[in-house]
Amino acid sequence: MYFLDAFTRSMTGLIESSGFAQFFVEDGHLYLIMVVIALLLIYLAIVKGFEPLLLLPISFGILLANLPGTGVMTSPADSASGIGGVLYYVYQGIHLGIFPPLIFLGVGALTDFGPLIANPKSVLLGISAQFGIFAVFIGAMIFGFTPQQASAIGIIGSADGPTAIFTTQTLAPELLATIAIAAYSYMALVPVIQPPIMRALTTKAERAIQMDQLRVVSRRERIMFPVCVTIVVTLLVPTASPLIGMMMLGNLFKESGVTAQLGDASAKTLLYPLTIFVGLSIGATTDATRFLTAETLGILSFGMLAFALSTASGVLFGKVLCKLSGGKVNPLIGAAGVSAMPMSARVVQKVGQEENPHNFLLMHAMGPTVASTIGSALVAGVFIALFG
């Protein structure tokens, strides 16, 4: 009988200390909800192919953070051994503002500014698509958020994860987990969110417009562009230089013709590990008790609104350019004015070809996309200069 009682007590203690039992304590159901959300996002990444390079590490980070007992985000101060969780240390790259500029270095090495240089009007589409950022910034202020918080919420409309992280960490670090999840999730869901808006705001005839082939951009222009942009942007908005400067350096590695190894290292060797680290550590910040709140739902709603308004404003200005050009501009390319590069440009290509199989809009759409990437970094710099 003694051995049976001892065995029973041991098994009871083992069960009560297990992660399963933690789901049945106070707030345990919140962690279970987050686990279900993580599994859903993993499904969307793998089965539906919604930008898996972004969504898979984020969703797995959410899973790790909300399975009881993992301790992946435990700080040294809260650890009995004085050693923090592994993702706590990885997260410091975000906390200290290191990862976003390095990601921009890799993005610059992957970016072709040729379509923007060949068609400078693309800048107007990139600018027009920033409307959602400012509209939601004002809306968030009306609903009681501080200027710093409203700036971070509005920047979700850029659909640019590194820019959103950089802005939020500087201005409203308490919102970082929510803002980052919103920005990267909406980037991943571009193929779902944008097409209905694009179709609602354009006619079948407009979507079928074929555009003339872009001119060839010289090597001299390609080399001068990143240098000139760095000088102009740094002089106008110095606070944007960490992002823009690194992006232009990466592009110069690519275009100079003398640093191919550095360009490859920036675009591949550096960018892919950073994507893993940022995705995992951002996902791991979504502790259920802090994430599943009314404020979080409000921020996610504002973020969706900002992204939808940015898409809509880009398409509507594309319609204006279509009229002014005598029907030579396909207004769909305005949807690429959000910085979700290159996802939004691919969506433009797909929607355009649905109406006209001979439509090749990808390169035309890349102009507004890269213009918006620069533009959203500028907007972030302005917010930081005003409210930082």
pLDDT in the model for residue 148: 95
Provide the domain count of the chain: 1
Round the average pLDDT of the chain to a whole number and report it. 88
Convert 273-295 to b/e letters by CB count within 10 Å (16 or more is b). Answer: ebbebbbbbbbbbbbbeebbeee
CB 122 within 8 A of CB 116: yes
- CA gap 388, 384 in Å, rounded: 5
- Within a domain: residue 205? yes
- Note the pLDDT tens digit of each residue in 8-44: 655 555 455 555 556 556 667 788 888 999 999 899 8
CB 307 within 8 A of CB 156: yes
- Within a domain: residue 334? yes
- Within a domain: residue 178? yes
pLDDT in the model for residue 55: 86
- Tokens representing 100? 């976003």
pLDDT in the model for residue 82: 87
pLDDT in the model for residue 11: 54
- Note the pLDDT tens digit of each residue in 302-331: 989 998 999 999 999 999 999 999 989 999
Convert 12-45 to b/e letters by CB count within 10 Å (16 or more is b). Answer: eeeeeeeeeebbeeeebebbbebbebbeebbebb
- Within a domain: residue 19? no
Q: CA 358, 158, 222, 232 torsion: positive or negative?
A: positive
- Within a domain: residue 218? yes
Which segments of the chain have a pLDDT < 50?
14
pLDDT in the model for residue 182: 84
pLDDT in the model for residue 274: 93
Angle (nearest 5°) at CA 65 between 297 and 17: 120
CB 365 within 8 A of CB 348: yes
pLDDT in the model for residue 186: 80
pLDDT in the model for residue 138: 95
Range of the domain at 354: 97-387
Q: What pTM, to 2 d.p., does this model score?
A: 0.85
